[in-house]
Amino acid sequence: MYSISSIVLTTMAISLTLLLLAILYKKYLQHLQKGEVKKEDYAVLYPLEIQPAVGEVEFYYELEKDKEIELFLLDTDFNKVMELDKRMGTIGGNKVIFDTKQVANGQYFYQLKSDNQQTMKKIAIENP
């Protein structure tokens, strides 16, 4: 049979082991969160509501803090066709209006660029 002292010692050893595992797991989770992406550091660029684009369109993006933003129109080889906007974007929704008649019909990309991000969406332009 087991003595009371051996049962107590075994219970304490198991409890200590579980406590150490919990602490190590918490430290591991903290380590994983160090590289976590902070949403407020990035802009969200939305797709156009109407495709193909005709006439004036609104490019829309949102920011959680003010930041310098550039918006470009690119061809299908990702070469810059034109700069659409360059400004300090403000917290909340931002619009850039573009007249698609300034370029030939076809497939393009619009790219939002900041100090830590580049994101793009596709646009088809078909003016009459």
Q: Contact, 70 vs 85, CB < 8 A? A: yes
| Residues 116 and 90 occupy one common structural domain | yes
The model's pTM is 0.69
| Res 78: pLDDT | 96
The DSSP symbol for 58 reads: E
| Residues 98 and 48 occupy one common structural domain | yes
Q: Contact, 39 vs 78, CB < 8 A? A: no
> Among 117, 75, 69, 118, which residue's Cα sits nearest to residue 93?
69
31-86 pLDDT, tens digit per residue, is 877 766 778 889 999 999 888 999 999 999 999 999 999 999 999 999 999 999 99
| Residues 30 and 46 occupy one common structural domain | no
Q: Contact, 40 vs 49, CB < 8 A? A: no
| Residues 21 and 58 occupy one common structural domain | no
Q: Take residue 89 and report the two structure tokens written for it.
A: 């974007």
Average pLDDT on 3-13 reads 90
| Residues 62 and 117 occupy one common structural domain | yes
Average pLDDT on 94-98 reads 96
Mean pLDDT of the chain: 92
Average pLDDT on 2-24 reads 92
| Res 126: pLDDT | 95
| Residues 52 and 99 occupy one common structural domain | yes
Handedness of CA 65, 71, 74, 77 (dihedral sign): negative
| Residues 70 and 107 occupy one common structural domain | yes
| Res 83: pLDDT | 97
Q: How many domains does the chain have?
A: 2
Check whether 111 has a pLDDT greater than 70: yes
Query: Could you tell me what percent of the chain has a pLDDT over 90?
Result: 79
| Res 38: pLDDT | 78
CATH number at residue 90: 2.60.40.1930
Query: Cα separation of 57 and 51, whole Å?
Result: 10
| Res 62: pLDDT | 96
Adjacent-strand bridge partners of 93:
62
Domain that holds residue 22: 1-36
Confidence of residue 1 (pLDDT cuts 50, 70, 90): low
| Residues 27 and 47 occupy one common structural domain | no
